[in-house]
Every structure is written in structure tokens, then in C-alpha cells.
Amino acid sequence: MPALADTNSAYGPTLPVAATDRLISLDILRGLALFGVMAINVAFEFRISIFRQFLPALRTHEPGTTFFAGSPSPDTFALLWALMGDSPFNRAIEDFLERAVSMKAFALFSLLFGIGLAMQFDRIAPDRRVALLLRRLLILLAIGLLHLTLLWNGDILTEYALAGLIVLPFLFARRWLVIAASLALLGLYFTGWLMRLMPLPSSAWMMQHVSDASLVYAGGSFSQVLAVRLSEIGAIAPLHLWVFPRTIGLFLAGIVIWRCGILRDARDHRASWLLMALAALVVTVDAGPSLVTVSLALAYGALVLAVANTAWGARLLGWAAPVGRMAFTNYLMQSVIFGFVFYGYCLGLFGRVSVSLALGIGIAVYGLQVIVSWCWLRMFQFGPVEWLWRSLMYNQVQPMRVRARS
């Protein structure tokens, strides 16, 4: 889910300023966070049922590729087992994604969304702030509901839109109140109280559902896949409710970070970002899983911002900026592409490939998006979905082509 910054001047017209006036380091961070989100989505939600992670008995039987034939030699068989079977290599990849990436990428996106809301608030004329931001979030909610029902029920846009509507009044609040609310909500998330209040369905239900749904996702038509997807929404809802306080808390934290001013002059605060990353890593040591999710996300974000605001870091990571500027478009396109790859109405690889091959497919898709985003933004100011979102927000068609510079 993107946290795109509105590039209008504070009280100017609805036309965007030049791309050079953007905070490129935030685009880089958003692009890298999108990679993490993609990796988790393709490994644990498109490739297999989302409920498998809650069934330890099934997790010891990693699905492998089943569409190669012949009698391979021992060396070839060993290679195929390493890449496609329940091998130590695949288990190591899965463990790394769970420990180092998983919820951390989503937490980082939540922080970026809050930063984006605060930037937009500051750059919109005071008499238009409520109307424009309210419309922006309602449009996001509509797009999220379409994505949730028609493409993929792992959607995060709907949750972000609802959380944004709750956070909107806090944009007018004093900083101490925003900080207090953020800490209170994050504290609620850390307690795990909502997990006990709203548990997932029983293990027996999940076992049966994984079996039944896998048949449909792997071999069903679009209408059959759609029916199963819709039926799962209620069972998946507790997962979103568990992290909803964290989402709102990180939105609020993003508002505080923006208003502290260290992002406006990030080049002058590189030492502060490094110290922040180090402090977050220290907190991560021996912390519980909920706290690790937030602390490690903060460490990643601070480290990337520190590096991206150096000359060599900008050259090293600059490739991620275009994909970050088009994060909304790229997020939705990943759902479309992975739907065709894994569901039965096209290639039907659901449940048939190992985590390493699924991740390889995801990396290839992401790499293509990096190239396409770079080419697209040489001609246009926004990604296509970003342009649509912006035009609907202002109720006015926004200029799309890059304007020639004199």
C-alpha cells in the first residue's frame, strides 16, 4: 500500500511540482518496503493458503514443484530437491522471511502512510484539508474493497483507508496528544489482547478449509476462485483486527516524525537516523514478537533514510525510487499478475511450487516493475492508479505528461 506524498505547494493550485522537489529518500524507502510486502505476499498468501502458517502439522510438508518428468541423475535430483522440495534451503528462506521481513514490511508501510497523510495535510490549503483528505480516503476505501473482492482477499488498502479515517482528526491535534494516542494503541497491540478476544477459526476448520480451498485455487475457474475468496473474508478478518491498533499507532507515529522536521532536512540529520536505527536494533534484542515487528521496521526505515541521503547511497538505492513513486499501481499489478500465475484460471501454480521458486517469480515481477516504472516516469508524472486517485480526489483531471523543462 503506498503512502504517496501530495506534491502541491501549501496554498497553490492542484498541479504537481517537479519530481526533483519530492523527497526521493522516501520514494526509495517505499520502493524497498514494497519489495518486502511482495516477498511475503507471494511466499505465504498467493503460493499457499494463508491459514497454513497457523497449522504446524502442515508446515513440515512444504509443497514442491510437480510438473517435471523423467528420471533425473543423482546430481540433478539433489538440485531439484534443494530448489523444489522440503529442503533445508527452502526452510531457511521461509524462516528468514518470517523473522526478518514478514510483518516488518507492513509496519514500515503503515509508518510511511502516516508520513504521507501529514505531508498532504501541510500542503493543502486549510479550508480544503478536511474535504480533500476525506475524499482521498473514501476513494482509497472504494479501490480497496474492489481489490479485496475481485482480485485478492489479502488486501491492505481497505484497512489503511479505515485507519486513515480514524486518524484524520488527529492531524488537527497537538503533538503531545498524537504521541500519547500512538503509544496507547501500540501498547494495546503489544499486549496481544485482541488475539485472545477475537481468535481464528478452529484448527479443524482451518485444516479442512486449506484442503478444500487448495483444490479450487489450483484448478478452479475465476468464478469458483472468487466464491472461495469471498467466503474467506470473515475468517481472515481477525488477522486485520489484531494489527489494527498497530496500524493506527504507526500512522500517528508517522505524523509525529514528519512534524519533527527531520525528514525535511534529512541530509542534515544522517547521524540522527543512524542513532535511531541503532537504538531500534538494541530494543529488538530479546524483545517479544510484537515489539520486534515495530522496532525492526523502525531500524530498517532509519537505516535506509540515513544511507539514501548520502551521495553514494542515492546512487546505490536510486533504482527503488521509481517503483516507490508508483507503489499504488505496482501493488495492485502484483495482485493481478500473481493471480494469473497461481490461480486455476491461468497457470494454476497454487500449492505446487516451493517458497524459493515462488520468491524467484516474485523477484522477477518486481524487477520488471522497476524497469517499467522507470520508463513510465520518464514520460508521465504519476503512475496510472496514482493519477486516477489524485484526479478523483480533486474532482479534476490532473496533468499526466511530464512537462518539458526550459
pLDDT over 60 at 15, yes or no? no
Amino acid at 235: A
CA distance 337 to 118: 32
Residue-range domain boundaries for the chain: 19-394
Binned at pLDDT 50, 70 and 90, residue 8 comes out as very low
CA distance 319 to 394: 30
* The predicted structure's pLDDT at residue 301: 95
Record the pTM. Answer: 0.88
Binned at pLDDT 50, 70 and 90, residue 73 comes out as low
Backbone angles phi, psi at 380, to 5 degrees: -125, 155
For CA atoms 129, 131, 133, 134, give the dihedral sign.
positive
Q: 327-367: per-residue pLDDT in tens? A: 999 999 999 999 999 999 999 999 888 899 999 999 999 99
Are the CB atoms for 246 and 186 separated by under 8 Å?
Answer: yes
3-state DSSP call for residue 6? coil
Q: Where do we find the cell 524462516?
A: 95
Are the CB atoms for 356 and 83 separated by under 8 Å?
Answer: yes
Binned at pLDDT 50, 70 and 90, residue 200 comes out as confident
Average pLDDT along the chain: 87
* The predicted structure's pLDDT at residue 168: 97
Q: What is the dihedral of CA 54, 57, 59, 65, to 10 degrees?
A: -130
The separation between the first and the last C-alpha atoms of the chain, rounded to the nearest angstrom, is: 35
Binned at pLDDT 50, 70 and 90, residue 59 comes out as low
pLDDT over 60 at 131, yes or no? yes
Q: Which of 400, 251, 393 is nearest to 326 (CA)?
A: 400
Beta bridge partners of 380: 401
* The predicted structure's pLDDT at residue 104: 92
Q: What is the 3-state secondary structure (H, E, C) of 126-173?
A: HHHHHHHHHHHHHHHHHHHHHHHHHHCCCCCHHHHHHHHHHHHHHHHC
Q: Where do we find the cell 475457474?
A: 221
Beta bridge partners of 401: 380
Q: Where do we find the cell 538440485?
A: 79
* The predicted structure's pLDDT at residue 308: 93
* The predicted structure's pLDDT at residue 1: 42
CA distance 31 to 201: 35
Centre a 10 Å sphere on the Cβ of residue 116 and count the other Cβ atoms it contains: 22
Binned at pLDDT 50, 70 and 90, residue 18 comes out as very low
Q: 370-404: per-residue pLDDT in tens? A: 999 999 999 999 999 999 999 999 999 999 998 75
